[in-house]
Amino acid sequence: MSARIIDISREPDLALSEALTVLFAGQPIALPTETVYGLAADATNPAAITRIYETKGRPRFNPLICHMADLAMAERYGTFDPVSRRLAEAFWPGPLTLVVPLKRNSGIHSLATAGLDSVGIRVPRGFAGELIRRFDRPLAAPSANTSGRISPTSARHVAEDLGDRIALILDGGAAMVGVESTIVKVEDGRLRLLRPGGVAAEEIESLTGLYLERPVTAASGETSGEDGSEADIEARIEAPGMLSSHYAPKAGVRLNVENARPGEALILFGSRDVPGADKAAAVYNLSPSGDLGEAAARLFDLLHAADACGVDTIAVAPVPTEGLGEAINDRLERAGAPRP
Q: Which residue ranges make up the site for ligand TXA (CB under 6 A)?
A: 33, 35-36, 38, 62-65, 95, 97, 99, 113, 116, 118-120, 122, 141-143, 180-181, 183, 194, 238-242
Query: 187 and 79 in contact (C-beta within 8 Å)?
Result: no
The least distance separating Mg ion from the CB of residue 180, rounded to whole angstroms, comes to: 6
From 15-23, 138-146, 194-202, 276-284, give the range in contact with Mg ion by CB under 5 A.
Answer: 138-146
Distance of alpha carbon 207 from the chain centroid:
23
CA distances from 306 to 24, 256, 297, 311 (A): 38, 16, 15, 8
**Three-class secondary structure of residue 191 per DSSP:** strand
**C-beta of 137 vs 313, nearer to ligand TXA:** 137
CB 116 within 8 A of CB 102: yes
Is 240 or 270 the residue whose CB approaches Mg ion more closely? Answer: 240
CB atoms within 10 A of CB 220: 9
Shortest spacing between CB 63 and ligand TXA, in angstroms: 4
- Cβ closest to Mg ion, residue 143 vs residue 244: 143
Closer by beta carbon to ligand TXA, 16 or else 65 = 65
Look up residue 199 and give its DSSP letter: S
Which of the listed partners (ligand TXA, Mg ion, none) does 194 bind, with a CB threshold of 5 to 8 Å by partner kind?
Answer: ligand TXA
> Torsions phi, psi of 276, nearest 5?
95, -5
* Residue pair 8/171 in contact by the 8 Å Cβ criterion: yes
Residue 264 Cβ, how far from ligand TXA at the closest point, in Å?
A: 28
38 vs 270, beta carbon nearer ligand TXA = 38
181 in contact with Mg ion (CB under 5 A): no
CB closer to Mg ion, 143 vs 223: 143
Q: How far is CA 177 from the centre of its chain?
A: 10
Out of 143, 153, 217, 244, which residue is the one contacting Mg ion (CB under 5 A)? 143
Comparing CA positions, the residue from 107, 12, 34 lying closest to residue 66 is 107
Least Cβ distance, residue 28 to ligand TXA (angstroms) = 12
Q: Which CB atom, from 172 or from 240, has the smaller least distance to ligand TXA?
A: 240
- Do 109 and 49 touch, CB atoms closer than 8 A? yes
* CB-nearer residue toward Mg ion: 27 or 143: 143
> What pairing do the DSSP bridges indicate for beta strands 182-187 and 96-101?
parallel
What is the nearest approach in angstroms of ligand TXA to the Cβ of residue 277?
Answer: 32
Minimum distance, C-beta of residue 266 to Mg ion, in the bound complex (Å): 26
Q: Minimum CB separation from Mg ion for residue 56, in Å?
A: 8
Of all residues in the shown chain, the one whose CB is closest to ligand TXA is 241
Smallest gap from Cβ 222 to Mg ion, in A, equals: 20
Q: What residues contact 279, with CB distance under 8 A and at least 6 apart?
A: 260, 261, 262, 263
Q: Cα–Cα distance between 264 and 177 in angstroms, integer?
A: 27
Query: 186 touches which of Mg ion, ligand TXA, none (CB within 5 to 8 A by kind)?
Result: none
Residue nearest to Mg ion (CB): 143
Beta-bridged to residue 78, according to DSSP, are 102
- Asked if 32 contacts 155 with a C-beta cutoff of 8 angstroms, the reply is yes
Residues that bind Mg ion (CB under 5 A): 143
